[in-house]
Structure 1
Amino acid sequence: MNTIKKIIRRSVISVFILGIVTATNLANAATWRYAHEENKGDVQDVYAQRFKEYIEKNSDHTLQIYRFGELGESDDIMEQTKAGILNFVNQSPGFTGAQIPEAQIFFIPYLMPTDLNMVLEFFRNSTAINEDFPKLYADNGLKLLNMYPEGEMVITVDEAFTSPEGLENKKMRVMTNPLLSATYSAFGAIPVPLPTGEVYGALQTSMINGQENPIFWIESEKLYEVSPNLVYTSHGWFTTAAIANKSFYDGLPGGDKTLIQEAADYAFEKVAVHITGLAGQALERIKKISDKVTVTRLNDTQIGAFKARAPNVEEEFIKMTGDSGKELLRQFKKDLKNVQNQH
């Protein structure tokens, strides 16, 4: 065989092999579906976009993202994830707590520190977060990828308050989990569970007197328009979780599992940067837009009156969750103490 024929044959073989590799890659490529609870540009959307960025940059897969309301409320997208219709979901323990009672631990008031750097370090290194919670989610057909904080909780209400007495008989919207109801009962209020999409209208018609959310969501949903008195009580953080359908995840090859976890960790660090300073910026924008908004920050003495009621909620958490909740709370406090000692 002369040299020219050899070159032609090698070229044909190379093209044939390239075709097989390309076809294989296309066959292995998938479109994954991810839904979250927030609007475009909000914290969960930032996380989802960075997750998508990493997945698509490092594989042939694509990620389709659905935002708040596009596929229903929080309960709807969780049901779709458990059914395998969605591959990934971002959901707060405030809603997951109905299925995983131990997830309500984030609603024990004054358990978490107020310093953002300490909170982020806790989520990165906590044994409770990174070892105990994945087991609890797995028992419910879910693969926990990340838990991360979004922002300090702020209460909006029709009349500003500085003591538990100021919340007496106030109808306060809560997410649909029993422990958050117990928290507001302990604070003296009347808890009213409502889906997210009904909160603005309920405030507008005085069906409820107030609600709690991180300040960026209060801005995003324009809740300050119908509930203009903002009260900072330092009682907790809004926490959320990035989750995969466990059957879907378990069925993936090892390389895709590694890809997904790396994407989750990448998105966590991007969100950590995003939320730094976010609360202050959102508050300033709200104050510029509305001259009706008032801001009340409780001092240490005033906070102490609310904090004194927190043990009642902790006891309720243990009643709801039994020995598993008691052990989780012990590890949670141990992890928090380790972070506080380092600071």
Structure 2
Amino acid sequence: MTYRSLLTTSAMALLVGAGAAAADTWRYAFEEAMEEVQGKFAQKFKEEIEANSDHTVQLFPFGTLGESDSIMEQTQSGILQFVDQSPGFTGALIPEAQVFFVPYLLPQDTETLASFFENSKAINELFPPLYAEQGLELLTMFPEGEVMMTTTEPVSGPDDLNEVKFRVMTNPLLVESYKAFGATPTPLPWGEVYGALQTGIIQGQENPAFFIESTKMYEVTDHITRAGHNNFTTAVMANKDFYDGLPDEDKTLVNNAIDAAFDYIIEYQSGLTEASLEKIMEAKPSMTITTLTEEERAPFMATAESVEQEFLEIGGDQAQTILDQLKADLEAAKSGG
């Protein structure tokens, strides 16, 4: 057993032991650091729960309890009560959730995005039963910011990604998306990405600007490309048995805290992207940040249809229904409905 595995196993043992002694302590793990977007959401959720009840919420940021697969397993088994995880990782459990990786599906306008995530029938009505099948109560999904490519060489079109080993999450549709972009997609756990870029095993990765800045991905890459192809999506879930077993007043408490955290995180992200890019340029003035023109984006956008068809092939039994409803929800958000 590795040292890291031993630490994770020990932490899990402590959690199991703590469960019986402190039934009013709810445990919540997420995939980012405390001061990153998921951490800010979690802190607001904790604040709301503790201000309106006798319960306490214990937060576990990235790495505390292992990688993404570990915290999901711990949530499904009931060791954790809450988890925040991107569909990039839950896509293996819930194929339909991969729809969020069809390029150029989500709008860039932040108000439209917020309206979509808050009011989407696909998210609020169609996805919950799919998550429930995996022992999860889907509480909300929210956007984290425009996804940008960071690479060791400049990118102005798909030809520039030819033979570039590009790190992607372990998500089949994201793999297909970067294949369509011309790259060689390379799934890697997040904990291995910095070192892989540093040693040249991979030459690129994608994430929102705040995450590129906070994890110092700019130290091991030289170019940021804004192709406008996606916005990072994440989902907050509860263990289904835990949630179903709560008295109605506690369910209301949780749902109200989720709503408050959603409103907070949308407001928190206002101006975050540009502020993060400014910090990157201050830390590394030689970094280039390029926003592709509509003409330069066109070849990337042309791949969307083939990736969408791939989603319909691998996206589960309700792929078509989910995609159709998602598009209808996006149109409603754009029109202000």
Query: Which residue number in structure 1 is paired with residue 296 of structure 2?
Result: 302
The answer to whether the Cα contact below 8 Å between 2:99 and 2:315 also exists between their aligned partners in 1 is: no
1:70 pairs with one of 57, 64, 68: 64
1:125-274 alignment, distance < 5 Å: 125-274=119-268
The answer to whether the Cα contact below 8 Å between 1:81 and 1:244 also exists between their aligned partners in 2 is: yes
The answer to whether the Cα contact below 8 Å between 1:187 and 1:309 also exists between their aligned partners in 2 is: yes
Query: Which residue number in structure 2 is paired with residue 311 of structure 1?
Result: 305
Task: Report how many residues are paired.
Answer: 317
1:331 counterpart = 2:319: no
Which whole-Å deviations, capped at 9, do the CAs of 1:228-286 have from their partners, x for residues lacking one?
20000000010001100001111111111110011111100000111111000000011
1:124 counterpart = 2:118: yes
1:60 pairs with one of 54, 64, 67: 54
Counting aligned pairs with the same residue, the percent is 54
The alpha-carbon deviation at position 342 of structure 1 amounts to: 2.5
The alpha-carbon deviation at position 62 of structure 1 amounts to: 0.3
- Paired with 2:22 and 2:278, the residues of 1 have a C-alpha distance of 48
Query: Which residue number in structure 2 is paired with residue 8 of structure 1?
Result: none
Amino acid at match of 1:266: A
- Paired with 1:32 and 1:44, the residues of 2 have a C-alpha distance of 17
- Paired with 1:48 and 1:339, the residues of 2 have a C-alpha distance of 26
The alpha-carbon deviation at position 136 of structure 1 amounts to: 1.1
- Paired with 1:224 and 1:37, the residues of 2 have a C-alpha distance of 20
Taking structure 2 as the reference length, the TM-score comes to 0.92
Query: Which residue number in structure 2 is paired with residue 100 of structure 1?
Result: 94
The answer to whether the Cα contact below 8 Å between 1:175 and 1:194 also exists between their aligned partners in 2 is: yes
The answer to whether the Cα contact below 8 Å between 1:34 and 1:66 also exists between their aligned partners in 2 is: yes
The alpha-carbon deviation at position 134 of structure 1 amounts to: 1.0
Amino acid at match of 1:188: G
The alpha-carbon deviation at position 341 of structure 1 amounts to: 2.0
Amino acid at match of 1:57: A
1:60 alignment partner, SS class? coil
Query: Which residue number in structure 1 is paired with residue 16 of structure 2?
Result: none
Taking structure 1 as the reference length, the TM-score comes to 0.91
- Paired with 2:137 and 2:53, the residues of 1 have a C-alpha distance of 21
1:202 alignment partner, SS class? helix
Which whole-Å deviations, capped at 9, do the CAs of 1:31-81 have from their partners, x for residues lacking one?
010000111210000000000001000000000000110100111100100
Amino acid at match of 2:229: H
Does 51-60 or 318-327 show the bigger shift?
318-327
Does 286-295 or 48-57 show the bigger shift?
286-295
The answer to whether the Cα contact below 8 Å between 2:145 and 2:231 also exists between their aligned partners in 1 is: yes
The answer to whether the Cα contact below 8 Å between 2:31 and 2:85 also exists between their aligned partners in 1 is: yes
Amino acid at match of 2:296: Q
1:83 pairs with one of 58, 67, 77: 77
Flag the structure with larger Rg.
1
- Paired with 1:70 and 1:172, the residues of 2 have a C-alpha distance of 26
Runs of 4 or more above 4 Å deviation: none
2:281 alignment partner, SS class? helix
Amino acid at match of 2:280: I
The alpha-carbon deviation at position 28 of structure 1 amounts to: 9.7
1:342 alignment partner, SS class? coil
The answer to whether the Cα contact below 8 Å between 1:29 and 1:60 also exists between their aligned partners in 2 is: no
Structure 2 residues without counterparts, runs of 5 or longer: 1-20
